[in-house]
Structures are given as C-alpha cells and as structure tokens.
Amino acid sequence: MAGADREEVVHPGMKVAEVLARWPHLLEVLVEASPAFQKLKNPLLRRTMPALVTVAQAARIGGLEPEELVARLNRALGKEGAPPGGGGGAESLLGTPPPPWLAAPVGFHLDVRPILEAGGEPFSRILAAAREVKPGERLVLEVLFEPIPLYRVLAKQGFLAWCEKVGERHYRAHFYRQGMGGEEGLAKAPPLTEADWEEVQAEVTIEENLEPPLPMMRVLEALASLKPGEKLLVHHVRRPVHLLARLEEEGHAYALKDLGPGRVKLLIRKGG
C-alpha cells in the first residue's frame, strides 16, 4: 500500500513527462512556478524535453529548489508537502541579520530579472560577473527569487552570501568575495592539449533542432556515465555557453574547436 500511496504524489525522481501525462493540469503549475517552463507550452518540446528531465532537474533549470517545486506540484494535487528522499540543499538566508561586509564596495551589479522573465538562463552571465569582482568587493544580483543554488556555487569561489526581499518577485542577493584563498583551495583541472583529442571514450552529437535544455541534458547524461579522467567528444551546432558554465562549476576540463558555421567540437575530460 505504501508503494501505491507514493505513486499518488509527485517525487523528485519522476520524469516531467510522467507527471504531465498523469496530471496534465500541472503544466500550468510549472509555468507559474518559473518563466523557464513557459516553453513546455510548445507541444513539440513537451514531447521531448520532459522525457529526459526529472522533476528535480527541471527545478534547477527553473532556478528553484527541488523540494520547493515538488511541494508546489503536490499542493496542486491536494497533497501537502514533499515525499521523503527529496535531498537537502543550502538554506535560505532571508531574514538573517545583515552581515558586516554589506558595507563593502560593489564590484559588479547585475539585474537578471529581464532574462528570467523572458524564460532565459542567466547562469553564465552571473558567473562572468563574479569573475569581475575583486577580493573585498561585492557582487549584487537583482533576481525574481532567492537564488539558493547560487550560494553553493559561488561559495566554491570564495564568496559569502546574503539575500533580502525588496518587493514582490524582487530579491537582492549580495555575494562578498573574501579573498583568493577560497579559489586557491579548489583543485584546478589541468588544461587539455592537442593530444587529448586523439582518443575519447564517448561521443555525443547535438542536432540543430534540439531545443534547450535537451542539448545540455544529453551531454551531462553522457558525462555521468564516464569515469573521472575519461573524455567525451561533443559534436555541437553552436558554442554551448550555459553548458560551459556548468562544466566549470563541476570541475571538468574542456576545450573547443570552432569548425565554422553550425559546427563546433567540444572535448570534455571528466573531473573528480
């Protein structure tokens, strides 16, 4: 009976396709949860992307915590809360006392709300902005929701975080770069050389008609099947900026070869 009960709720490991097949009305809940899901209203994309993506993965694509999205979907089904096993995450910083470093000068101020409202992914823009911030300075982000996943990502680069709610669907996140100690502690992947292109353990081809986030998901799934140190060759149709940011975050080495319009080769060596 416990197994049957579990099937009556959404859980993080379910594919989005299964969720929408069983409860079509949850499409509107997804779209309301994040502008990134607006594309699911496209019937063609709805037949492809959700088949590969779990609810937890979709939450991260939409800039949400998996537990938050699962709970929202289950509330729409008349079920309160999220099923166990959703996984932990960084905690909210809303309501915590302002840190003393809030008086530090602003090194970069970035408003990503227009990108989010258009259904875009600002992750690469944020990482690029973070690289411009010097020790002792702050990165200030204007966002539509508290960017909890960013706390972990930027902590690896030596940033402390704090967030405040400014208004309805308007949050201001502050990231203070403590110094270079945090970055020096990270293991930097050695760069790839020309010899690395000669032998790979797996290959993936990205077709022109694949809509985001399918290309990224296909590459990450192939990468997950490799052992640390093994290499994946990706035949892509464009420079995958969001994927590159993700590879940097996870510590994978990569190299690109631009072969002309619509032809890019990406070599990835799995880190870890």
Residue with tokens 């979709």: 58
All residue ranges of the chain with pLDDT < 70 are 1-7, 43-53, 60, 80-92, 119-120, 179-189, 212, 242, 245, 249
Predicted confidence at residue 188, as pLDDT, reads: 56
Integer Cα distance of 229 and 22 in angstroms: 41
232, 200 contact by CB (below 8 A): yes
C-alpha span between 55 and 22 (Å, rounded): 14
pLDDT at 64: 75
The predicted pLDDT at position 46 comes to 60
Q: Where are the domains of the chain?
A: 2-76, 100-184, 194-269
Give me 155's structure tokens. 């902590």
Per-residue DSSP letters for the chain? Answer: -HHHHHHTS--TTSBHHHHHHH-TTHHHHHHHH-GGGGGGGSHHHHHHHHHH-BHHHHHHHTT--HHHHHHHHHHHTT--S--S-----PPP-TTSPPPGGGGSPEEEEEE-HHHHHTT---HHHHHHHHHTPPTT-EEEEEESS--HHHHHHHHTTTEEEEEEEEETTEEEEEEEE--SHHHHTS-PPPPP-GGGGG--SEEEE--TTPPTTHHHHHHHHHHHTSPTT-EEEEEESS--HHHHHHHHHHT-EEEEEEEETTEEEEEEE---
- Architecture in CATH of 100-184: 2-Layer Sandwich (3.30)
Which amino acid type is present at position 158?
A: G
Domain 2-76 fold is SP0561-like (1.10.3910)
Q: Pairing state of beta strands 106-111 and 263-269?
A: unpaired
Structure tokens at 82: 């999220």
Q: Under CATH, which number does the domain 194-269 receive?
A: 3.30.110.40
Q: What angle do CA 263, 267, 270 make, to 5 degrees?
A: 150
- For 3, residues 6+ apart whose C-beta sits below 8 A from its C-beta are none
Do 14 and 97 meet the contact criterion of CB atoms below 8 Å apart?
Answer: no
Residues forming a β-bridge with 138? 106, 176
Residue 92, pLDDT score: 66
Whole-number pLDDT of residue 182? 41
- The pLDDT value given to residue 265: 95
The whole-number pLDDT of residue 93 equals 73
CB 14 within 8 A of CB 83: no
Q: 100-184 and 194-269: same fold?
A: yes
- The vertex-217 CA angle with 73 and 264, nearest 5°, equals 150
